Amino acid sequence: MFAGRRVLVAVTGGIAAYKVCEVVSTLAQAGASVRVLLTEAAERFVSALTFATLARARAYTDADFWSAEHGAPLHIALGQWAEVILIAPVTAHTLARLALGLADDLLTNTVLASSAPILLAPAMNTQMWEQEPVAAHAQTLITRPRYHLSGPGRGRLACDAVGAGRLSEPAVLLRHLGSLLWSGGKQDLAGKTVLVTGGGTREFLDPVRFIGNPSSGRMGIELAAACAHRGGTVHLVLGPTHLEAPPEVDCHPVVGAAQMAQATFALFERAHLTFMAAAVADVRPSQIHIDKIPKNQLGNRLTLEPVEDILLELSRRKQPWQTLVGFAAQTGEDWLVPAAAKLKAKHLDWLVANRVDLQEQGFGGDNNQAMLLSSRGDMHAIPLMSKLEMAHRLLDRMETPA
């Protein structure tokens, strides 16, 4: 989703500047056109040459401030060129200058000469981050439509303090940049509560065996992140997965279908928009054995019973102000027939159907394609794209009520 897009990365003077190298490298490898701008303090941590090499393009410093680019002053040329701006790490000093609208170096002049959305990624000592003026400056900035905040995360810092102040991980920053490039930073879900389920469930037969499926939870994770980036208050009920939940959402980890049902039912009554992207088991063992069953006895011990239909129960509880979206993983040439039947039988507003028997899409992959069906009978084809892009495409389409 970065191919051909124009990303300006501004680096300020913090030890976490080294992490931004991975962001720049990944953007360039993904086909983005990347320009890097370093403050004087940033050059004490990572050189302009390093960033220029990773970006495959020139990196700019304050020494370039009085130069021109394509016939225009550099700060104006860069500001008008950028589709999105990442400032990372953001120091306390930089937060203050941005909040006050100062224009005393190349970075602050470029920000004022641009209308592009800006992703701020603060990183500093915990005591510094928690100081009242720093918090006030951060709050001032995020109330302005252009500014969006990522982090800071919690953990052990370079100064050995433990608490808030860590720079968001590169993958988190890249996902948020992708959302801003798609949506332009609009906050159409502000004031809305969103519920997303994701991942598969594990229905245990004994301590070492379970009935499950290959779902990685990536579609639910990307949906949750996209909704949070667009201003929603997001709850993610997530089955077992090797993937990390987005730090912007409230994650509720579960294992089995019964746990997923309990968590989902508790959160659903406050949700304006619900995406049921989890691959919930249809059946489970009728008995969970305390000890491992001998291999030669499995055939006699494996008896199954149906699992509660969470989606159908949600449709019974749904209020007129709520929107309920189901997912259907299908196979075969007639894959849309059962999907359409599921939409009708479970009284859904929308259903996202996709084939999981095709290469490079479905379970576990980074990409997917689907057909979006509405209760009005509309069908919208979504071509192969990243699951984050698909999440935004679904949200854009659902702006028109079903």
Residue 164 lies in a domain: yes
- What average pLDDT does this structure show over 344-370? 82
Residue 73's contacts (CB-CB under 8 Å, 6 or more residues apart) are none
Sole residue written with tokens 């579609």? 219
Mean pLDDT of 68-85: 91
Q: Are residues 13 and 100 in the same domain?
A: yes
383 with 301, same domain: the answer is: yes
Minimal CA–CA distance to 13: which of 101, 109, 92? 92
> Among 134, 164, 183, which residue terminates a domain?
183
DSSP classification of residue 279: B
Do 207 and 324 fall within a single domain? yes
Q: Determine phi and psi for 117, rounding to 5 degrees.
A: -65, 150
Is residue 188 domain-resident? Answer: no
C-alpha 260/C-alpha 84 separation (Å) is 37
Residue 241 backbone dihedrals phi, psi, to 5 degrees: -160, 155
Question: How many domains in the chain?
Answer: 2
Model confidence band, residue 365 (pLDDT cutoffs 50, 70, 90): confident
CA torsion, points 252, 263, 196, 147, in degrees to nearest 10? Answer: -50
Query: Residue 398 has which token pair?
Result: 């659902």
361: in domain? yes
The residues that bridge with 204 in the sheet, in sequence order, are 210
Please tell me the distance from the alpha carbon of residue 165 to that of residue 173, in angstroms, as a whole number. 15
Task: Say whether pLDDT at 393 is over 60.
Answer: yes
Q: What is the mean pLDDT of the chain?
A: 91
177 and 222, same domain (yes or no)? no
CATH code, 124? 3.40.50.1950
Angle of helix 218-229 versus helix 170-183 axis, rounded to 10: 60
153 and 198 part of one domain: no
Residue 402 lies in a domain: no
Q: Are residues 168 and 87 in the same domain?
A: yes
pLDDT tens per residue across span 3-61: 999 999 999 999 999 999 999 999 999 999 999 999 999 999 999 999 999 999 999 99
Residue 91 has what DSSP assignment? Answer: P
The reply to whether 266 and 316 lie within a common domain is yes
Write the pLDDT tens digit of every residue in 82-113: 999 999 999 999 999 999 999 999 999 999 99
Q: Which residue has the tokens 């720049």?
A: 24
In which band, very low, low, confident or very high, does the pLDDT at 333 lie, cut at 50, 70 and 90? confident
Q: Residue 95 falls within a domain, yes or no?
A: yes
Is 46 among the domain residues?
yes
Among the three residues 159, 183, 207, which one is the final residue of a domain in this structure? 183
Domain encompassing residue 387: 193-397
Q: Are residues 130 and 243 both part of a single domain?
A: no
Instruction: Report if residue 338 sits inside a domain.
Output: yes
Residue-wise DSSP of 192-208:
-EEEEEESB--EEEETT
Kindly state the percentage of the chain with pLDDT values over 90. Answer: 70
241 and 155 both lie in a single domain? no
Same domain, 101 and 160: yes
Binding residues: 282, 292, 327, 342, 346
Q: Give the C-alpha separation, 277 to 350, whole Å.
A: 12
Query: Does residue 67 carry a pLDDT above 70?
Result: yes
Please say if the pLDDT value at position 362 is more than 80. Answer: no
Matching residue, tokens 């879900």: 189
The residues annotated with a catalytic role in the active site are 159
Q: Which of the two residues, 358 and 92, has the higher pLDDT score?
A: 92
- Check residue 330 and give its pLDDT: 79
CA count, 13 A, side-chain hemisphere, 237: 30
Average pLDDT over every residue of 169-173: 96
pLDDT of 176-202, one tens digit each? 999 999 999 999 999 999 999 999 999
259 and 112 within one domain:
no
Residue spans of beta strands (DSSP E) within 214-362:
233-238, 250-253, 273-276, 283-285, 304-306, 323-330, 350-355
Binning pLDDT at 50, 70 and 90, where does residue 360 land? low
Of 139, 155, 183, the one marking the end of a domain is 183
- What is the CATH classification number for the domain harbouring 392? 3.40.50.10300
Alpha helices in 143-283 (DSSP H): 170-183, 218-229, 257-268
For residue 401 the two structure tokens come to: 């009520």
- Same domain for 344 and 373, yes or no, is yes
Asked if residue 1 is part of any domain, the answer here is: no
| pLDDT (0 to 100) of residue 194 | 97
- Tell me the binding residues for CTP: 282, 292, 327, 342, 346
Q: What is the pLDDT of residue 155?
A: 79
Q: Whole-model pTM? A: 0.91
